[in-house]
Amino acid sequence: MIDIITALWGALLLIIMWFLRYYMKQRFFNSILDNIPGPPSSSFWTGNLQQFFGRHGYGFHEELAQNYGSVVKIHGSFGRRLLYVFDPKALHTMTVKDQATFEEGSDFIKCDISVSYSHASIFTWRSSANLLVFGPGLLSTLGEQHRRQKKMLNPVFSINHMRRLLPIFYETVHQLRIAMMSEAATGDGEMDILDWMGRMSLELIGRGGLGTSFDSLIVGTKSDYGEVMKSTFAALQDVFILRPLLPYVSRLGPAWFRRRMVEIIPYQPVRKLKSLVDKMADRSTKIYQEKRAALRDGDGGTSTQSGEATDIMTILMKMNMVADDEDRLSDDEVHAQVSTMTLAATDTTSNASSRVLHLLAEHPQVQEMLRREIVDACDGDELSYDQLNRLPYLDAVLRETLRLYPPATLLSREATEDTVLPLSEPILGVDGQLIHEVPICKGTELFVGVLGSNTCKTIWGEDALEWKPERWLSPLPNTVIKSPIPGVYSKLMTFLSGKRSCIGFKFAELEIKVILSMLLPTFTFELTDKPITWNVATVYYPTASPEDTQPQLPLKESANHFFANMHAIQQQYWAVRDYLSPVLKESKFKEHGRITPEEFVAAGDFLAYKFPVWSWEKGDASKARDYLPTDKQYLVTRGVPCLRRATALAYTDADEDAERLLSIGDLSSTGNEADEWVETHAGRASDIDSGANPGVIDDIPDVDDHTGEGALASAMGNVSLSGANGDGVGEIPDMDEIPDMEEEDLEADDDEATAAPRVTPTSRIIDSSEVEVAKGNLLQVRTYDVMISYDKYYQTPRIWLIGYDEASINLAFNRTPLTPPQIFQDVSADHAFKTVTIEAFPHSTSLQAASVHPCKHASVMKKVIERMNAGVIEEQQAQRKAFASGPASPKDKQKKWLFRRASGNGKEDKTPTTPGEEEMEGMRVDFYLVVFLKFIASIVPTIEVDSTTAF
C-alpha cells in the first residue's frame, strides 16, 4: 500500500516539475512574443480564438492583415501566445526553406485516431484531425511518407493530364447547364448557386478523379454522399475548439477503447462528425474495392475513345503497381486518397466558383465584359485547354477573386524545434524597437497569413482591398514582382507553397474556367434582395443573411438576351439558305445518303402504311413547300412515351454505356479526319424485351467495325427492321414480316378487311396506369409529338420533337408543353444545345420544336445503306436461285419485293430480265425512313421515336 502511495506522489511530482519547466520556458518566449503587436485578448479561457474561428470573424481576419504589421501576436487558450505571419521571407522559411521545422501542428497531425474504413477491420494511425477525416492520405502525412505520396500523384495532376480530363469537365458542365435551365424555367428565377456548384464539383471529382458518378445533376434529386461532403467541413468547424485536446486524448488506451469513448460522448458535434466520417469511409472503401476488382479483371475507369483510362484514381493505382519498392504506396495510403481527393476538391472549388458568380452579379459590367470575351472566343463551340488559358479577362477575374477571397485561411504550422524566423522587413515592437527576426519556441503555433499576404497594401498597393480584375491586365507593380512571396500560384498564397502546396490547383482552376465559359454565354446572374454573408470556416461559405446558418447563395438567373438575338439572326440565315438551295432531282440515296423530295414522299408513304401511328400532315398553307405534295408536307406521330430522363442515365463503374465518338466517313484526300458522331448509351442492356414492353429502349447493338468504316453504320447495318434480334455480327436484316405495300397478290389473310388486328405499335397515347413506376424515376410519363420534315438544304429527313409534361398523358387537348430545358433532360448531354437545338418548325408560323440537326444525317445514312444494301443483294440472289429451283412457299411470296427493280417512280418495273441477268436492286428507297428512325433513336435514347421495333 505504501509503495502505491509513494509511486503516486512520485508521478505527481514529475508532472508538477514538467509543468513548471514548460511554464517557465513559455514565460520566457512569451515575454519575447509579447513585444510583437497584436489585438488584446478577449478572454483568458479562449483568448482571440473565438474571434479568429467564429463564422463572423472575417472582420477580425482583415484587422490582423491590415493593422499590426507582417507578424501579429494573437492570444490562444489559457494565455498561450500564437503568431499570424504574412511576411514574405518568413513565409518562405516556414513553407519552403525550413518546411520540416514548421509542420502542421500536433493537434493537426500527431495523434492516434481510430477510423473504421471497412466493416472487417479497424485501422489505427499516427494521425490527427485530418487523419480522422481522410485516413493516411496526402493531407494527413509528413516527411518521407508525404514525399512518396506527392511524387506518385504529381503526374496525374499535371497540365498534360488536365488536357485529357477536359472532355469530362465539359460533359459534366453541360449536364449542369441543362439542369439549371430546367430549374430556371419552372422556378421563380431565384436559384441556390452554391448547391449547384457543390453538386457539380462532387460529380467532377467523381468522374475525373475517381471514375465514378456521385450525382445525376437532375432537378429535385439529391446525392446522399454529396450531403455528407457538404456537412463535413461545417462539422469540423463545430469541434475546432477541441483540437488542442487531441494529442492528449490519443494516449487514452488502445484504439478500440478510444473509438468506444467517442461513441458514448454526449457532445453532439463530436458524434455527428464521427457519423459523417464513417459514411465517407464506407463509400471510399466501396470505390476502392471496385477499382481494385476492375484492375484485377483487366478493366479500367473512365476512359478516352482509345480506351485509355483518364480518371486519376485508376491511373494512380496502375502507377503504384509498377512503382519501385521505395516509392510504392501501401493499400491504406492509396485507399485514403479517395476521401482526400473527394473532400478536398469539393467544397473548396465549389465555394470559389460560387464566389466568382456572386462577384459577377455584384459587378454586372464585369460580367458583360467577360461574357463577350468568352463568346468571341468560343464561336458556339467548346474551348480547348490552351484557348481557355489564353482568355486574359477570364484569367484576371479568377486570379483577382482568389487573391481577395481565398477559400481557406485557417491554416497553421507548429515549430518542431526552437528556431528563429527571419523577416524581409523589420516590424515595430510594442516597446518602439525594430524587430528583425522572431525567436520561436518549440511548440509555438503560427497561422499562415494567406489573406494578409494577398492583401498587403505595401505589396499590392492602396487598392489591395478592392476587387479589380483589371490589375492583372497590365504588369503587376514592382513591389509584387520583387517580393519573395513563395506562393505556387501567381504570387498568391491561396494555394500555399513548397512541398505542402495544393497539388490540385490546376484542377480547380480548370474547373472554374470551364464553368464560367459554359454558364455565362447562357445565363445572366443578378443579386436578390437577400444580404449575402460569407462566413469563416475551414472553407468560407455563404448564407442568405448574417443570422442564417444554412449554407446557400441565392442569385437571380435569366437567359442571355444576346444569345436570343443571335439565335434569331441565325434562324433568318437558315431560312434564306433553305430558300436559295436547289431541289435535288437525281436520286443519291445509295451514293451519298441523300434523297429527293419524291423519294421522301415514297418513304413516308411506306412508313405510314406499315406503321399507322405515322400520318401525313399538310401544315400551314403559308409555309407549304411547293416541291412536296400539298397534303404530304411532313409526317407526324403523337403521344410517343418517354419513360425516363436521358440525364438520369448516370455513369457508373459498372455501366458500359459510355458515349463514344464514332467514325462515319473515310479519310479525305486532304488527310482530314473522318466525320464523327456521338453514339449515346450504346451498350446499355434492356431489362425487358422492348418489343413487348414499349417502356424500354431498344438500343442499336454495338458491332465491331472490321472494315474501318463507321461503327454506327456497321451497327445499324445489322439491325433487323422487323424487330427480330440477329444471332451474329454479319446477319442480314430480316424484312420477311414486312410485306410489299404495292403487292397485288396479297393473301386473303393479309387483306386489311379480313386480317387479324395488327399489333399495337409502341407510339401511342398510353394510360398512366399501364406504366410501372421505376424506383427513383418518374411518377408519370412524358409524351412527345414527333415530326419528320424534308430539309431541302441537306437533302435528308429532319426530326422534330414537341414534348408534353406528365400531367398531360390522358389529355387530348390543352396539354402542357415542356420547356426547352425540360426537353433537353431527354437528350444526352453530348447532343443537347449542339446537334439538338430549339428552332422554328418550318411548317408552322409560330411553333418552336426541338430538332436534331441534319448536318451528319447523309454521312451516317450512306454508311448504313452501304452495309444493308450488300446484305440485301446477297439475299436477293439466294432467293432468286431458290425460286428457280421450285415453287415458292407462302412465306416466300412475301419476299417478292426482293426481286423487283425500281422504275424511278416507286412502282415495280415489270420489264422481264434477260437470261443470266444478275442486276439486283438491293435496298429500296422507301425503307429509308424505317432505317432513319433507328438512327435517331441513338440520339434521343429515352424517347420511343422508333415505332418499328414492335414489328
Q: Summarize the annotated binding site as residue ranges.
A: 502
Query: Across-strand partners of 615?
Result: 636
Q: CA angle, 49 as apex, 44 and 51 as ends, to 5°?
A: 110
User: What angle, 0 to 180 degrees and rounded to 10, lies between the N-to-C axes of helices 597-610 and 928-937?
Assistant: 80
Active-site hit among 111, 456, 642, 855: 855
Query: Across-strand partners of 170?
Result: none
Q: Which three cell numbers stand for residue 660?
A: 463514344
What are the strands of the beta sheet with 848-852, ordered from one edge?
A: 615-617, 634-642, 782-791, 796-804, 848-852, 836-840
User: What angle, 0 to 180 degrees and rounded to 10, lies between the N-to-C axes of helices 268-296 and 331-362?
Assistant: 110
Comparing CA positions, the residue from 116, 501, 146 lying closest to residue 329 is 146
Q: Is 99 left (phi over 0), alpha (psi -120 to 50) or beta?
A: alpha
Catalytic residue list contains 642: no
What sign has the CA pseudo-torsion 133, 134, 138, 142?
Answer: positive
DSSP 8-state class, residue 948:
G
Q: Alpha-carbon distance 343 to 12, whole Å?
A: 44
Q: Alpha-carbon distance 485 to 496, whole Å?
A: 10
Please name the residues in contact with 601: beta carbons below 8 A apart, sequence gap of 6 or more.
628, 629, 632
Q: Alpha-carbon distance 548 to 121, whole Å?
A: 41
For 594, half-sphere exposure in the C-beta direction (CA atoms, 13 angstrom radius) is 16
Q: Alpha-carbon distance 419 to 766, whole Å?
A: 79
Q: Could you give the C-alpha distances from 908 to 606, 857, 896, in angstroms and in order?
A: 14, 28, 11
User: Is 115 in contact with 262 (CB distance < 8 Å)?
Assistant: no
Q: Alpha-carbon distance 278 to 520, whole Å?
A: 38
For 683, half-sphere exposure in the C-beta direction (CA atoms, 13 angstrom radius) is 11
Tell me the pairing of strands 81-85 and 445-448. Answer: parallel
User: Is 782 in contact with 642 (CB distance < 8 Å)?
Assistant: yes
Question: What backbone torsions phi and psi does residue 832 show, to the nearest 5 degrees?
Answer: -60, 135
Q: Alpha-carbon distance 223 to 664, whole Å?
A: 38
Q: Alpha-carbon distance 726 to 284, whole Å?
A: 42
Q: Could you give the C-alpha distances from 106 to 82, 122, 450, in angstroms and in order?
A: 14, 22, 21
| DSSP string for 382-409 | PPPHHHHTT-HHHHHHHHHHHHHS-S--
Q: Alpha-carbon distance 446 to 165, whole Å?
A: 37
| DSSP string for 84-147 | EE--HHHHHIIIIITGGGEESPTTTTSEEEEE-SSSS--EEEEE-HHHHHH-SSGGG--HHHHH
Comparing CA positions, the residue from 401, 369, 399 lying closest to residue 472 is 399
Cβ–Cβ contacts within 10 Å for residue 846, how many? Answer: 7
Cβ–Cβ contacts within 10 Å for residue 456, how many? Answer: 22
Q: Could you give the C-alpha distances from 871 to 725, 741, 878, in angstroms and in order?
A: 16, 22, 11
Q: Which three cell numbers stand for residue 281?
A: 469511409
Binding residues for heme: 502
Catalytic center residues:
855
